[in-house]
């Protein structure tokens, strides 16, 4: 027994160093190796603010057991002075992180696809990006001045990734000419809503027709997802490797992909413009009697002048008094301007045979038609490059018909 006891003590003593060694903490891993950084892209939805898609930076931390999607472009309609800031073009949006599970559930319910592209970043770059996002999410850092084209959810993600990889994203895409414009993408993505499409056709001015580089085009989340596949970064062997190391689909929506090109609605706008213009002329030529034609002329003419007058006032306001840079230098002011506003009063007075209304009504209607035609002729000058052919097809025949109707009505009513 005593021999066995000493033998047991000897064996325990011999194994003690090995046991102690096994209880030591493992050597620390390289900081950042526990992180996975991905570009998360969400497809288009049906609401107006969902038509352009969305994206986020996904940070998965295995040591913390977390997966956080950092989103830019957050807003709230209930935010103080939201509408007035929107009108001024001074929207105050923010950045916020949400856990992956709840984020994915939101997009599943909305039937919007979700794609994830894991990024080939070094451990130190992963740590730097995570730290920046956590800093950016703090209440004192999260708010920023939003711009739909130049500073939105996607450009913020693009810029954050570009900083982390030392400007390589911009360097490799800023010289690629896409042949597209802000208007091109806006029209194709809003073609499912003709009323919204037409409103943007009126409101977007010359800056919307600037030719975009691939860097510019990444204001759209789906374009960032596409272009980032072409970016190369240094690898451990001293060569270059794709920035995107792998891709996976988290949810695939059942709705179709957005169209790749804008619709061709020139003929449709032209038909509407010709019908409106010929209707105004015909009704004006029969406005002298007490029949429905006179009432129809007043109604249609007042409706058109109200639409163009108010629209023109809004276009001038956006240009002169707001930060909506994409609305500056709008050639559509030739087609819709404040000259039409007095006709809202003058045309009904003309129908009532008020002598004081005849001359100014005729003069303004003719002037509106001449200004409308001027908007066509200036297109031969390089300075007038706005892509507004569809609006010209609608507005020019209507404005000419308005002038013909007012002139004809004034003659018939005076006779």
- 163's tokens: 């900083």
Residues 152 and 215 both lie in one domain: yes
Q: Write down the pLDDT at residue 78.
A: 84
Which residue, among 214, 268, 242, 182, has the nearest Cα to 39 in the 3D structure?
Answer: 242
What's the CA gap between 307 and 296, in Å, rounded? Answer: 16
Instruction: Decide: 130 and 31 in contact? Cβ < 8 Å.
Output: no
Residues 379 and 305 both lie in one domain: yes
Q: Residue 402: inside a domain, yes or no?
A: yes
User: Is the confidence at residue 22, as pLDDT, over 80?
Assistant: no
Residues 246 and 312 both lie in one domain: no
Residues 238 and 296 both lie in one domain: no
Instruction: Decide: 220 and 187 in contact? Cβ < 8 Å.
Output: no
User: Is the confidence at residue 385, as pLDDT, over 60?
Assistant: yes
Residues 95 and 239 both lie in one domain: yes
Residues 47 and 180 both lie in one domain: yes
Q: Residue 386: inside a domain, yes or no?
A: yes
Give first-to-last CA distance, the chain, whole Å: 139
What's the CA gap between 212 and 156, in Å, rounded? Answer: 17
Which residue, among 89, 238, 218, 80, has the nearest Cα to 160 in the 3D structure?
Answer: 218
What's the CA gap between 157 and 401, in Å, rounded? Answer: 50
Give residue for tokens 């066995």: 4
Q: Write down the pLDDT at residue 28.
A: 47
Q: Residue 256: inside a domain, yes or no?
A: no
Mean pLDDT, residues 353-369 taken together: 95
Helical axes 355-377 vs 389-414, angle rounded to 10°: 150
- 164's tokens: 């982390």
CATH (domain of 113)? 3.90.1720
Domain total in the chain: 2
Domain that holds residue 63: 35-251
DSSP string, 316-335: HHHHHHS--GGGSS-GGGGT
Which one of 228, 251, 274 terminates a domain?
251
Q: Which residues contact 208 (CB under 8 A, 6 or more apart)?
A: 149, 181, 182, 183, 186, 326, 387
Calculate the dihedral angle through the C-alpha atoms of 240, 241, 243, 245, rounding to the nearest 10 degrees. Answer: -170
User: Is the confidence at residue 370, as pLDDT, over 90?
Assistant: yes
User: Is the confidence at residue 252, as pLDDT, over 60?
Assistant: yes
Q: Residue 258: inside a domain, yes or no?
A: no
Which residue, among 198, 209, 196, has the nearest Cα to 390 in the 3D structure?
Answer: 198
Which residues of 167-239 form beta strands (DSSP E)? Answer: 177-181, 211-213, 232-234
Instruction: Read off the pLDDT of residues 293-316 as tens digits, 9 standing for 90 and up.
Output: 999 999 999 999 999 999 999 999
Which one of 218, 251, 284 terminates a domain?
251
Residues 231 and 343 both lie in one domain: no
User: Is the confidence at residue 348, as pLDDT, over 60?
Assistant: yes
Mean pLDDT, residues 176-180 taken together: 97
Give residue for tokens 């990444």: 218
Q: Write down the pLDDT at residue 413.
A: 78
Q: What are phi and psi of 234, to 5 degrees?
A: -65, 145
Q: Write down the pLDDT at residue 2.
A: 39
Which one of 220, 251, 282 terminates a domain?
251
Residues 229 and 364 both lie in one domain: no
Instruction: Decide: 69 and 40 in contact? Cβ < 8 Å.
Output: yes
Q: How confident is the model at residue 26 (pLDDT cuts 50, 70, 90)?
A: low
Instruction: Decide: 323 and 317 in contact? Cβ < 8 Å.
Output: no
- Tell which wins on pLDDT, 27 or 165: 165
Q: Residue 260: inside a domain, yes or no?
A: no
Give residue for tokens 């409308």: 372
H/E run at residue 57: strand 54-61
Q: Residue 356: inside a domain, yes or no?
A: yes
Q: What is the pTM of this model?
A: 0.88
Which residue, among 218, 216, 253, has the nearest Cα to 113 in the 3D structure?
Answer: 253
User: Is the confidence at residue 20, as pLDDT, over 50?
Assistant: no
Residues 244 and 271 both lie in one domain: no
Q: How far from the centroid of its chain's Cα atoms is residue 296's Cα?
A: 39
Q: Residue 297: inside a domain, yes or no?
A: yes
Q: Residue 146: inside a domain, yes or no?
A: yes
Residues 298 and 381 both lie in one domain: yes
Residues 349 and 209 both lie in one domain: no
Residues 179 and 128 both lie in one domain: yes
């Amino acid at each position: 027994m005593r021999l066995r006891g000493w033998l047991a003590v000897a064996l325990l003593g011999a194994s003690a160093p090995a046991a102690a060694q096994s209880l030591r903490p493992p050597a620390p891993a390289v900081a950042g190796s526990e992180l996975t950084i991905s570009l998360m892209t969400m497809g288009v939805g049906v609401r107006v603010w969902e038509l352009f898609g969305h994206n986020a930076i996904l940070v998965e931390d295995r040591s913390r057991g977390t997966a956080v999607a950092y989103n830019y472009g957050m807003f709230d309609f209930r935010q103080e002075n939201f509408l007035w800031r929107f009108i001024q073009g001074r929207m105050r949006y923010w950045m916020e992180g949400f856990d992956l599970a709840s984020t994915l559930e939101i997009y599943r319910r909305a039937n919007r696809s979700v794609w994830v592209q894991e990024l080939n970043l070094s451990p130190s770059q992963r740590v730097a990006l995570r730290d920046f996002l956590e800093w950016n999410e703090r209440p004192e850092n999260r708010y920023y001045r939003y711009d739909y084209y130049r500073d939105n959810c996607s450009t913020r993600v693009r810029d954050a990734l570009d900083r982390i990889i030392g400007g390589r994203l911009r360097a490799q895409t800023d010289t690629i000419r896409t042949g597209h414009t802000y208007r091109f993408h806006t029209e194709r993505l809003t073609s499912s809503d003709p009323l919204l499409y037409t409103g943007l056709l009126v409101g977007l001015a010359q800056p919307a027709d600037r030719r975009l580089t691939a860097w510019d085009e990444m204001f759209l989340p789906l374009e960032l997802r596409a272009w980032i596949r072409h970016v190369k970064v240094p690898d451990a062997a001293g060569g270059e490797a794709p920035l995107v190391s792998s891709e996976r689909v988290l949810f695939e929506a059942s709705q179709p992909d957005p169209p790749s090109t804008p619709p061709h609605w020139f003929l449709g706008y032209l038909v509407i413009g010709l019908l409106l213009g010929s209707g105004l002329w015909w009704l004006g030529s029969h406005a002298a009697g007490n029949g429905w034609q006179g009432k129809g002329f007043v109604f249609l003419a007042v409706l058109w002048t109200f639409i163009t007058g108010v629209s023109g006032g809004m276009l001038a306001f956006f240009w002169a008094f707001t930060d909506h840079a994409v609305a500056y230098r709008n050639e559509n002011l030739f087609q819709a301007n404040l000259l039409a506003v007095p006709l809202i009063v003058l045309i009904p007075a003309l129908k009532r045979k008020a002598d004081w209304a005849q001359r100014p009504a005729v003069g303004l209607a003719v002037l509106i038609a001449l200004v409308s035609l001027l908007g066509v002729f200036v297109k031969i000058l390089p300075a007038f490059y706005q892509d507004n052919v569809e609006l010209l097809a609608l507005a020019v025949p209507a404005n000419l018909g308005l002038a013909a109707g007012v002139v004809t009505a004034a003659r018939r009513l005076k006779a």
